[in-house]
Amino acid sequence: MGPDYRSMSIEHSTPRISILDQAPIAANRTGGDALRQMIDLARLADQAGFHRFWIAEHHATPGLASASPEVLIGPVALSTARIRVGSGGIMLPHYSPFKVAESFSMLAGLVPGRIDLGLGRAPGSDGRTAYALQRDRRERAPDDFPQQMAELLGYLDGTIPADHPFAYLQKTLPGGAEKPAPWLLGTSPDSAAWAAELGLPYCIADFINPQGADLAHHYRHAFKPNPARGIDRPQVMVAVWSITADSTAEAERLAASSRMLFRLLHRGQLIAVPSPEEAIRFLGEDQALVPSRSRRLVLGTKAEVRRGLEAVAAEYGAEEIMVVNILHDHAARLRSYALLAEAFDLRS
């Protein structure tokens, strides 16, 4: 059986809480360490009551180990019992729609009813790396994302017309009747329009574009039901940068690592995730506490973070919040999510 979207559309008094993980590589650790820590975090998320655990796609960076979500989803799903596991997302322009359909059909067959297929258009890399990911380098890949989406969904839903040359492929997917649940990810009016037209759930990356509330409005206004998937109403999730700690001062200290990371990223310098102490030395004691003007960061104690995240959810009209952060210390990251689970009483 495929995913039951009707059960996912029930109104909740408080938003569902999920995790987006980028497998941060600490300056004193390896990519392998980061991947094993991801599985450790997923187990905590499963036990603590989070709704989803999604894995991002980033290429050619010493600070993040999440180059291939489709490789990581299986081990994470098999290491957990109830949480939904998926991609946040697969950057479709790099790939054949049929190959993505096969991969996620396999995952859905392996772990029935728990696999999400979050799809994005961004490269998840710089232009040179995106070009290196191309199989055919005689010219730049075309910008045909809507056509790729239509083909991919056609394979998964079995809706490719009989006279299409690829029609027979939709009956060959290895997962059979088991299907992943597609989501469209985005930060732009284009993504809002495509999600509405296709009748797909929509996840907006507030941590990239904190002025995305209008996207949610346009998506809802233009939404068309998707009977093939049992989706009869718009569904909005918002992904937010957030850190929970035992004190506001500790949350601010932990945030210094990502502030240094992004400061250098804007200069074209890619580094592993620095310790808070190194970041504070680099930024200066005062600048380490200055919020970014281009990113929203919800941080603080359990009570402060719950208020902040609920305010963001209300701004977007979102039924679900997906939290993302980059911390140097794995124990601090586990603590952050454990406190967040307590803040929203997720175990209940």
The pLDDT assigned to 290 comes to 63
Express each pLDDT in 285-332 by its tens digit: 666 566 666 689 999 999 999 999 999 999 999 999 999 999 999 999
Q: What is the domain partition of the chain in residue ranges?
A: 5-343
DSSP string, 221-246: HH---BGGGTB-S--EEEEEEEEE-S
User: Does the pTM exceed 0.85?
Assistant: yes
What is the rounded CA–CA span in Å between residue 258 and residue 60?
Answer: 18
pLDDT tens digits for range 194-207: 999 999 999 999 99
Task: Extract the residue ranges of the chain whose pLDDT is less than 70.
Answer: 1-13, 124, 285-294
5-343 classified as CATH 3.90.76.10: no
In contact, 195 and 201? CB cutoff 8 Å: yes
Distance between CA atoms of residues 251 and 332, nearest Å:
10
Which residue is it, tokens 């190194």? 278
Hey, which residues does 118 pair with through a beta bridge? 88, 183
Determine the pLDDT at residue 286: 63
The pLDDT assigned to 123 comes to: 74
Q: Write the CA distances from 47 to 41, 81, 83, 320, integer angstroms.
A: 10, 8, 9, 18
